[in-house]
Structure 1
Amino acid sequence: MNSIKSYEKELAFQADRRKATTEFIKIISDLWYDKSIEIVLFKNQVIDRNVSDIINLHEYAGQFVQKPISIFDSVELLGAISDIALPPSKIDIGKLTYEYHSDENSSRDIKAFILDKLKDANDSKNIIPKDVILYGFGRIGRLLARELMAKTGNGNQLRLRAIVTRGQLTPEVLEKRATLLKTDSVHGQFTGTVDTDFNKKALLINGTTVHMISADKPENIDYKIFGIEQALLIDNSGVLRDKKGLEKHLKAKGISKVLLTAPGKDIPNIVHGVNQYEFDPDSFDIYSAASCTTNAIAPILKVVEDSLGIKKGHLETIHAYTNDQNLVDNLHGKYRRGRAAALNMVITETGAGTAVAKAIPSLDGKLTSNAIRVPVPNGSLAVLNLDISTKTSKTAINTIIKKYALEGDLVEQIKYSLSNELVSSDIVGTSSPSVYDSNATIVSDDGKNIILYVWYDNEYGYSHQVIRLAKYIAKVRRFTYY
């Protein structure tokens, strides 16, 4: 009899929890679409997530901070956020819930607590929306388009206005472009709608017109005829890689800033969260977002360098194969990359060990690096073998990195994993560029050598870093509370 009552209680609790989660989804949707306030849960996106996703994210959050993070508390705090006037913002409800239940806040009125925590929000500057052009429409370009359109909201930050591709634009080509945006073998279906209008030579993404422009010479394009002014152009074509080449974009009518989605020569190479503040958007017009691997390792290396000091080290990246490799054995400009990508592990080079010094100058000359391309289409792993200046332990280094993942300037960049079962497919779709595998960490007996394992979605995580940097360059970064 007692077991039946217990079971009935469990059912009632689950029903109440799912009902509260439905309310959570409604409130975050209202905040986003009515007030341009984006809610995240310890950096995890919750917009357009279902009930089970939200419950699972609360479970993860509780494990992460080692305190219960209740959906019922989240709903109550969200209600208080809804009742106050806030500018466009990005707010971590997990962090707020955790802080509310700390000893000094647990007896406070919830609204008073929220007002105190978000008191700086109204000091943020007015945001002028920025038009965005995607120059190229490959793997990264399409993920950028998906994310920009999914997070357009009221359009008060980045507005995707046009996509530039090479070659003639025919109805068939336009339809194929639309299909590639809608469906993806790795990342699944786009959650919105994609239609075509060949008369306008445009894609209609979520009902919004995005012009498709065919051009071979970037300097000859007149974006102003489409009503595009002072735009940020994101070059993901892979063709132009240096300052001289990228300056061609600035000669086009309607472009004011350029961001390259690859390592660049003679231009600032930025890992957002690490070194963006060293380059004022009012002083520079061309930027590089570095590489996916550099974005994965730089946040972790910065934590180790700042906390323990790095004497020297080696980076080995176990990287998903890419489009530049051959599907079957054939001639290739680089050694080994000509062998069938889906059948071989391929040793090749990476410049990430050198490139990371552009973001963290104190590491110049301290790191060597290499890469192994492996037969997975996405999801990579960086292994950092580091000799450090200050003795540590596995518990100590994990505690340090967990602190940086929870608070400070790198919370968007580092996701701290507690899983003993983490594999590459698990991190596909992760917006953080660095997923720190805490259970895989190895520390030598003398505490002076550490081996850290950092997973990264080399497509999706990197794309989010590009967008974070784009917002900084365009000066449309909202008030954030992490």
Structure 2
Amino acid sequence: MKIISDLWYDKSIEIVLFKNPLIDRNVSDIIQLHEYAGEFVQKPISIFDSVEILRAINDLKLPPAKLDIGKLTYEYHSDDNNFNNVKAFVIDKLKSATEYKAIKPKDVVLYGFGRIGRLLARELMSKTGKGTQMRLRAIVVRGTLNTEILEKRACLLRTDSVHGNFTGTVTVNAVDNTLLINGTTVQIISANTPEEIDYTEYEISNALVIDNTGAFRDQNQLSRHLKAKGVSKVLLTASGKGVPNIVHGVNHFDYDPDTTHIFSAASCTTNAITPILKVIEDSVGIKKGHLETIHAYTNDQNLVDNMHPKYRRGRAANLNMVITETGAGQAVAKALPGLKGKLTSNAIRVPVPNGSLAILNLDIKNKTSLEGINTIIKKYALEGDLVEQIKYSLSKELVSTDIIGSVAPAVYDSEATIVSDNGKNLILYIWYDNEFGYSQQVIRLAKYIAKVRRYTYY
């Protein structure tokens, strides 16, 4: 625990165990994560081995990085490991880190401060480290700013009914309209339109604006952010029209941040299902399918029965299951063009505040089995381009509250998978934290756009 803390706060090196964060975890958490890791790879993952690998990492001169000691431990005990010395093994595995170029920090502005905006603020501030990646410089809101309003916004950042208390400090400076978050000053700006803001007045330049208001969704509307002084890139936290819709890990490399200025991070549901659909399409092929998402209620719905622009959403969200539409099935095709026209989709909003479930009913091209499809998805969750996106669950007791706080946008329920007798139809259950898990995907994409991705070893 001490080495993990020292690596993070002194060297900006984040340690994870098969994608699970280890910073600020207690003893029980770490023991349980090692037990999960051992069951996941079907080999013992010893805490003593983890400590030896951490000591070796701590002795090396490395750039800011994110390192998975679970993968390192697994590989150290693999049959093709020719090293008897832990330090020599770690040096060999991380040798490419010496070629990693220094990162130029990126100024970030959050345009909007709702559910996703506050989670992004928490993540940006808790992962600031030495400020070598993204620096939250400002938050844009609408309406009057005064001591009472600022304190209310600060309180919403400090406490959250779903995600708990923020493990940091937040204080208000009403004179300068700023929040002091973990000792870092963040400017609060009131504006009615994006183009009226001059960010350079606050010494913000070449900034990435993350728009989480949902008010601007197409190319023309989002371009308004680029008219503001001090802005170079825009990222929408919803599906966009006429702009690249990106599911990080699946299609982010298709767009060059040097030439593309506006991005969409798609929707939470799209980020949950697309990585799994890519695995299925690449491995056994998809003929057609249907997506049904059992989704937590959102702020768009009414707390009590009242008028609403859309049918059914006007009924009380905390009392009803509400059938509504979702564009996730069509949105998948923007990231995976080969699936265009192959998926239908619908949604049911249910009375839980967070934690959703996507059910994929797929007709596939090549025959498989329950063991076969689980083995395929486990492999993708363990190695390759989708390790951040897919978490493989072994639990027989998994329910929606269990996935709150998951850093992966897709939690694959291996115990719930159904394969037809002829091996040509799959029913897959994909859990997702539609707030926190999605926010992690937004952060990953933001780092790619800002070109501040650290050296990683997964």
Pair in the same fold by TM > 0.5: yes
8 Å contact from structure 2 (residues 83, 89) kept in 1: no
2:159 to 176, 179, 183: 183
Deviations 1:379-398 (A, max 9, x none): 00000000000000000000
The SS at the match of 1:177 is: helix
What's the CA shift for 1:70?
1.0
Deviation at 1:103, TM superposition (A): 2.0
Equivalent residue, structure 1, for 2:99: 123
- Structure 1 unmatched runs, 5+: 1-24
- After superposition, give the CA deviation of every residue in 1:3-50 in whole Å (9 maximum; x if it has no partner): xxxxxxxxxxxxxxxxxxxxxx11011111111111111000111111
Where does residue 358 of structure 1 map in the other structure?
A: 334
Spell out, residue by residue over 1:191-230, the C-alpha distance to the aligned partner (whole angstroms, 9 max, x if none). 0011101111001101110000000011010111111110
Deviations 1:456-479 (A, max 9, x none): 000000000000000000000011
Contact 2:5 2:23 (C-alpha < 8 Å) held by counterparts: yes
Query: 2:367 aligned with 1:398, yes or no?
Result: no
Structure 1 position 56, deviation (Å): 1.0
Q: 1:432 aligned to 2:437?
A: no
- The within-5 A match list for 1:132-151 is 132-151=108-127
1:172 partnered with 2:145: no
**Structure 1 match to 2:35:** 59
1:190 maps to a residue whose letter is: F
Q: Distance in 2 between the 1:307 and 1:121 partners?
A: 32
Alignment of 1:99-110 (within 5 A): 99-105=75-81, 108-110=84-86
Which residue of the partner structure matches residue 288 of structure 1?
264
Cα distance, 1:105 vs. partner? 2.2
Given that 2:250 and 2:386 are in contact with CA atoms closer than 8 Å, whether structure 1 keeps it comes out as yes
8 Å CA contact 2:106–2:135 kept in 1: the answer is yes
Q: 1:42 aligns with which of 13, 18, 43?
A: 18
Query: Structure 1 CA distance, aligned partners of 2:128 and 2:291?
Result: 37
What is the CA–CA distance in structure 2 between the aligned matches of 1:148 and 1:50, rounded to whole Å?
A: 22
In structure 2, the gaps of 5 or more residues are none
SS in 2 for 1:328: coil
- Per-residue deviation, 1:124: 1.8
Give the alignment's TM-score, normalised by structure 1.
Answer: 0.94
**Distance in structure 2 (CA, Å) of the matches to 1:62 and 1:147:** 28
Give CA deviations for 1:216-274 in whole Å, capped at 9, x if unaligned: 01101011111111010000011100110111110111110000000001000000000
Q: 1: distance between equivalents of 2:156 and 2:65?
A: 32
Is the CA contact (8 Å cut-off) linking 2:297 and 2:352 kept in structure 1?
yes
In the alignment, the residues of structure 2 paired with residue 66 and residue 147 of structure 1 have an alpha-carbon distance, to the nearest angstrom, of 32
Aligned partner of 1:12 in structure 2 is none
Would you say how many aligned residue pairs link Structure 1 and Structure 2?
Answer: 458
- 1:201 is aligned to 177
* 2:428 aligned residue (424, 448, 452): 452
SS at match of 1:313: strand
**Shift in Å, 1:170:** 1.2
Q: CA deviation at 1:51?
A: 1.4
Q: Secondary structure at the match of 2:209?
A: strand
Paired residue for 1:345, among 316, 321, 324?
321
* Identity within the alignment, %: 76
Residue-by-residue CA offset, 1:89-115 (whole Å, 9 max, x unaligned): 110000000110112327521111001
Q: Does 1:211 align with 2:187?
A: yes
One-letter identity of the residue aligned with 1:363 = L
Q: Structure 2: which amino acid aligns with 1:156? A: T
- Letter of the 2:163 counterpart: H
- Cα separation, 2, equivalents of 1:168 and 1:201: 11
Q: Measure the CA separation in 2 of the matches of 1:218 and 1:249.
A: 5
Paired amino acid for 1:31:
L
Instruction: Please state how far the C-alpha of 1:125 moved relative to its aligned partner.
Output: 2.1
The list of structure 1 runs, each at least 4 consecutive aligned residues, that deviate by more than 6 angstroms after superposition, is: none
Task: Look up the match of 2:57.
Answer: 81
Deviation sequence 1:393-418 (CA, Å, 0-9, x none): 00000000000000000000000000
Q: Which amino acid aligns with 2:41?
A: V
Pairwise mapping of residues 21-40 of structure 1 onto structure 2 (< 5 A)?
A: 25-40=1-16
For the structure 1 residues 106 and 427, does the alpha-carbon distance in structure 2 shift closer, same or farther, using more than 3 Å as the test? farther
Q: Deviations over 1:167-191 (max 9, x none)?
A: 0111100000000000000000000
Distance (whole Å) between structure 1 residues aligned to residue 151 and residue 28 of structure 2? 34
1:376-391 correspondence to structure 2 within 5 Å: 376-391=352-367
Aligned to 1:318: 294
1:231 is the counterpart of 2:207: yes
Amino acid at match of 1:116: D
Give the equivalent residue in structure 2 for 1:20: none
Match of 1:305 in 2: 281
Amino acid at match of 2:336: I
Are 2:74 and 1:98 equivalent residues in the alignment?
yes
Find the aligned partners of 1:29 and 1:232 in 2 and give their Cα distance.
Answer: 29
Deviates more, 1:123-132 or 1:296-305: 123-132
In 2, distance between residues paired with 1:325 and 1:389? 39
Partner residue in 1 for 2:230: 254
Report the Cα distance in structure 1 between the residues aligned to 2:80 and 2:221, rounded to whole angstroms: 56
Could you say which residue in structure 2 is the equivalent of 1:10? none
**Matching residue's letter, 2:44:** P
**Which one has a bigger Cα radius of gyration?**
1
Tell me how far apart the structure 2 counterparts of residues 301 and 457 of structure 1 sit (CA, whole Å). Answer: 18
Q: Distance in 2 between matches of 1:223 and 1:87?
A: 30
> Partners of 1:374 and 1:93 in 2: how far apart?
38
Name the CA distance, whole Å, in 2 between partners of 1:69 and 1:365: 44
Q: What's the counterpart of residue 221 of structure 2?
A: 245
- Equivalent position amino acid for 2:436 in 1: Y
- Given candidates 217, 239, 245, the residue that maps to 1:263 is 239
CA distance in 1: counterparts of 2:138 and 2:26, whole angstroms: 31
> In structure 2, the residue corresponding to 1:356 is in which secondary structure?
helix
Q: What secondary structure does 2:220 align onto?
A: helix
